[in-house]
Amino acid sequence: MFSEKTLAQVQESKETWSRKVEDHRCAHGERRDRFTTISGQEIRALYTPLDIQQHDFAQHIGFPGQYPYTRGVQPNMYRGRLWTMRMFAGMGTAEETNQRFRYLLSQGQTGLSVAFDMPTLMGRDSDDPLSRGEVGKCGVAIDSLADMEVLLKQIPLDKVTTSMTINPPASILLAMYIAVAEKQGVRKDQIGGTIQNDMLKEFIAQKTFMLPLRPSMRIIVDTVEYCTREVPKWNTISISGYHIREAGATAVQELAFTLADGIGYVEACLERGLKVDEFAPRLSFFFDSHMDFFEEIAKFRAARRMWAKIMKERFGAKDPRSMMLRFHTQTAGCSLTAQQPYNNVVRTTLEALAAVLGGTQSLHTNSLDEVLALPSQEAATIALRTQQIIAEESGVANTIDPLAGSYFVEALTDEMEEKAWAYIRKIDELGGIVRAIELGYPQKEIAEAAYTYQRAVDSGDLVVVGVNKYVGEEELPVEILRIDEARERAQVERLNRIKRERDNSLVRKRLEELRMASQDGENLMPYILEAVKAYATLQEICDVWRQVFGEYRDPGYF
């Protein structure tokens, strides 16, 4: 990018400047002995053309919508269409969540995002003894197709895309969604959305697992294979770095382990016999946007460039859509504080701005009260307005990748890519991501990073305003959304009514067919869909799998 003459002049000038800086530093000192990103990556005092002198414009930066997609996956990015504003919502009953969905759509939200309660995430019905006290507490309870019908009532599924954050029972929730769409007169090939369906990160970080690792992968590949042929607009896996980061990973670890998971899914689908360009365009990603503004932007840009290289050079993809890393972003829940909770609006604004400057396709902004409870309607509205102000008032969406060419951002992007490749090479040496997880490698790396981060907070090296600096004595009142225990009783009563009124002989027949298909290695999606349509419950289907495949127990690496 720069001539040898220019670089020589910069080098000479930098040496002169460095001597002056050293004199000044000796006389006056600096705020810190060492400057780093929030993940501990060294930050130099100044960046110049010398830091990106090896850059080839076409290979490293290029144009938006073109390989290697460093600057974005669409040629005109937000000048054509803003990102999807997709607020994560779910509370108590399906009725209440439906009301929140329709309120957010009326306020300008452009996509749905479903938060499920813990029993649903774990494949348990609301009447299971293990569900007691958890029904509807951290999301909506979905036990059967009847709940999904209520959840999506009066929402046109041919016009709205829906993201569902669900993993062990992802294929069941997708089947319920398809069944509701068909009842609305919407065909499978007309619906759009995403299921998270990412079990590898569950074993690495979030821990909502149900079956052992390898049968979990088999069911994921079943959904990819089925959707590739029957539900072509559906994103089949949202490969998630968010939960890896929230578990304490650094930005580089989030980048590396997420892409390594992506490699694992592509390899599994290829082993099934699918062709890479058949399914890869429907893989999507989900990243965290943390507090270090430039580190996050660099992470997003590096992720796009790395995935393009992986798909083209490692897997031989030919379709440009297979090489495009499309991603949803959520602002960092782990950065929110219970102390001085209104500061969380500022944190979320910075994190959302980093996601937008990093080129996200869809964004959830956390509500200021999420560290305390499910978001109140007022807090959720402020979070949505934060995105709308960035989109409509700040001007940052008017040009594409405006930080490209910044010596600092480009150098930081390169460094993150280099360190992430080192992790991926290590995982390859261990035999791939599935084997690496079985050995506990990513789990141990994240645990070490989380420990280092917490020590930095405890010592004050890492400042968290209101927590270890500028601490206030008065508590600021925040309205808390509380889920009444009566919701659990109502949900159990509805579940019991469904079990009484459905054709139970048909349910038993469908579950037995699912059991046989699970044992015989057939694609399970058609069997799940038929079971769901007969109003078999989430847990009844999951129990078939628990009996066939066994349950996973955490070996405890922390």
pLDDT digits (tens, 9 = 90+) for 189-227: 999 999 999 999 999 998 899 999 999 999 999 999 999
pLDDT, the chain, mean? 94
Q: Cα angle at 439 between 437 and 443, to 5 degrees?
A: 55
Query: For residues 142 and 92, is the Cβ–Cβ distance under 8 A?
Result: no
Give percent of the chain with pLDDT exceeding 70. Answer: 100
Task: Calculate the alpha carbon distances from 512 to 178, 212, 537 in Å.
Answer: 22, 21, 14
* pLDDT of amino acid 554: 82
pLDDT digits (tens, 9 = 90+) for 254-281: 999 999 999 999 999 999 999 999 999 9
Most confident of 101-115, 302-316, 460-474: 302-316
Q: Region 82-108: what's the mean pLDDT?
A: 86
Task: Tell me phi and psi for residue 140, to 5 degrees.
Answer: -90, 145
Residue of 65, 83, 38, 82 lying closest to 304 (CA atoms): 65
Q: Please count the other Cβ atoms lying within 10 Å of the Cβ belonging to residue 329.
A: 29
Contact 401, 72 (CB under 8 A): yes
Cα R_g (the chain), whole angstroms: 24
Q: How confident is the model at residue 557 (pLDDT cuts 50, 70, 90)?
A: low
Taking residue 389's Cβ as centre, other Cβ atoms within 10 Å add up to 12
Confidence of residue 54 (pLDDT cuts 50, 70, 90): confident
Quick: pLDDT tens for 108-157: 877 788 999 999 999 999 999 999 999 998 899 999 999 999 999 999 89
Tokens of residue 174, six digits: 């997708």
Contact 423, 257 (CB under 8 A): yes
- 3-state SS, residue 113: strand
* Contact in structure between 289 and 282 (CB atoms under 8 Å): no
What residue has token string 């500061």?
A: 343
At 320-351, the pLDDT tens digits run: 999 999 999 999 999 999 999 999 999 999 99
193: left (phi over 0), alpha (psi -120 to 50) or beta: left
